[in-house]
Amino acid sequence: MRIFLSSNYPVSEHALTAICRGLVIQPTKYSIFSPFRVFLDFDTVEDALNAVDGLNNYFHCQKDAKFDIKALPALPTSIVILQTIQILNCQLTSLEAHYMFCHLRGFAAVYVIKNVGYILFNSSLAAEKALDSIKLYLFNTYEIACYLEQDVRRHQIKVFTSIEAD
């Protein structure tokens, strides 16, 4: 299960690790500065819900702390065929890509690993319909052009099917 956490109050990596037992992926160091936004992934729903309680208690004790905690459902754990759109030379972070593409119909998840973006959809039809929107965002959005700079014209998009198994 995944938690989205944002706050204007800084949290040290040590405090975050102590509060959030069962973290699968440790947050990167940039996320501890104020203000910050970070996704925290947990092995079990129980660990995630305990972390929500712990984080609520932590922030309620801090004077003038503004925060937002959302529990997000994880990807299905049974065998699922997901249609994936792969973006090469992607200069976005996973969080930036999430905000950019999460509104697309059929969106399941997005990851950016070593400058390759993987946008997962729950059907090939959803991926097909989203492809034009994604191309439009990448080529015509000023914010993206800033991130991509000279790579804009060479930006490549591929579509392929991936199978995720338990």
**What CATH number corresponds to the domain at position 86?**
3.30.70.330
Three-point CA angle 83, 100, 2, nearest 5°: 70
The stretch 43-71 carries a mean pLDDT of: 76
Please, which pLDDT band fits residue 36 given cuts at 50, 70 and 90?
A: low
The stretch 5-18 carries a mean pLDDT of: 72
* The predicted structure's pLDDT at residue 164: 44
Three-point CA angle 126, 140, 161, nearest 5°: 25
* pLDDT over 50 at 49, yes or no: yes
The stretch 70-76 carries a mean pLDDT of: 57
Q: Are residues 22 and 89 in the same domain?
A: no
Q: Which of 17, 51, 72 is the last residue of a domain?
A: 72
Q: Which of 48, 72, 96 is the last residue of a domain?
A: 72
Which carries the bigger pLDDT value, residue 70 or residue 156? Answer: 70
pLDDT in tens, 130-165: 877 877 777 655 344 333 333 333 444 555 544 444
Tokens encoding 50 = 């305990």
pTM over 0.75: no
Phi, psi of 118 (to 5 degrees): -120, 110
Which carries the bigger pLDDT value, residue 136 or residue 57? Answer: 57
- Ramachandran category for residue 24: left, alpha or beta (phi over 0 → left; psi -120 to 50 → alpha): alpha
| CA Rg value for the chain | 17
Q: Are residues 52 and 90 in the same domain?
A: no
Q: Are residues 140 and 104 in the same domain?
A: yes
Q: What is the domain count for the chain?
A: 2
Which range marks the domain in which residue 68 is found?
Answer: 2-72
- What is the number of alpha carbons within 13 Å of residue 140 lying toward its C-beta? 6
Q: Are residues 150 and 89 in the same domain?
A: yes
Tokens encoding 158 = 């591929």
